[in-house]
Amino acid sequence: MHKKLALIGLPLVVLLSACGGSDPFEEEGGEGGTVVIGSADFPESSLLAELYGRAMAAEGVDVEYRLNIGSREVYYSQIESGNLSVFPEYNGATLAYLDDDAPSTDPEETNRLVEEALPDGLEILDSSSAENKDSVSVTSEVADEYGLTTLADLADAADGLVLGGPPEFETRHQGVVGLESVYGVEFGEFRSLEVALLTQALLDDDIQAANLFTTDPQIAVEDFVVLEDPENLFGSQNITPVINSDQVDDTARAALNAVSAALTTEELTQLNERVIIQNENAADVAQEWLEEQGLA
């Protein structure tokens, strides 16, 4: 989700769920062995942070949450500096962030390349089979009108269409840059929109294509068409925690790996539907799922 290297000078606008409007990075990490888990600024990331965080807490780990931080361009440095201990990431997006020239490949090779690219002090834990890829999705009407089934089909139509997505999608290889270099696709316009606004913008025809995450439950609800990616531009995007090694002990690691082992793409999509469509509280949804899996 996806990703997800730099928007130089991006303002650090941080939304903090756990405590007031204070800067969550005023102090390094947590106190007295507390594991600090963060999330990006979209619902699935916060849900994943609740899943992983509550699983650690069930094993007696002291957990602090810093949710809705922002994009990878904001939060990655905070893991490296130790302000964050754990972050639920996507392996392919992490690799693309660390190495713009890295190939898109299978999960095992992706993880090997991530491990090589990570700086000292950071590591990844086990990847989940659950995967959430970036996509370019369109309404069924637009797909029918232009004969779209794959990203390659956009090459002859995109110059008359508006693509919507979060601002970072415009500058990433796994985004507008790669669409042009890999598929020869150049949209007439890119419109920067918050992820939460993309579905309605598609339905209103304000945009004709959108960067949606493949586990977004709105795709099925609204009968959107996810364009196939035959060249694997978006790569492997398995849920994979990135950790600051010194701040995560064996107990926490085992709890994190247990969540990754239990979670599937289908279940993640269903949990997203409860949070995004049914407006259930992410913490409650996470707790219920963990109890069902015997992890809380």
Within-domain flag for 13: no
CATH number for the domain including 283?
3.40.190.10
Within-domain flag for 187: yes
Structure confidence at residue 101 (pLDDT): 83
- DSSP-derived secondary structure letter, 11: -
| End position of a domain, from candidates 203, 226, 249 | 226
* Amino acid at site 242: V
pLDDT at 180 over 50: yes
Across the chain, mean pLDDT equals 89
Same domain, 159 and 216: yes
List pLDDT tens digits, range 22-71: 344 544 555 558 999 999 988 999 999 999 999 999 999 999 999 999 88
Does the pTM surpass 0.85? The reply is: no
Residue 25 burial (10 A CB sphere; 0-12, 13-18, 19+): buried
| End position of a domain, from candidates 171, 192, 226 | 226
CATH number for the domain including 192?
3.40.190.120
Within-domain flag for 116: yes
Our count of domains for the chain comes to 2
Structure confidence at residue 4 (pLDDT): 33
E strand or H helix that includes residue 134: strand 134-138
Same domain, 211 and 269: no
Same domain, 107 and 250: yes
Give the burial string for 140-152 (b: 16+ CB within 10 Å, else e): eebbeebebeebb
Comparing CA positions, the residue from 64, 19, 39, 48 lying closest to residue 285 is: 48
Same domain, 121 and 61: yes
Is residue 103 very low, low, confident or very high in pLDDT (cuts 50, 70, 90)?
confident
Domain housing 39: 35-131+240-292
Structure confidence at residue 21 (pLDDT): 37
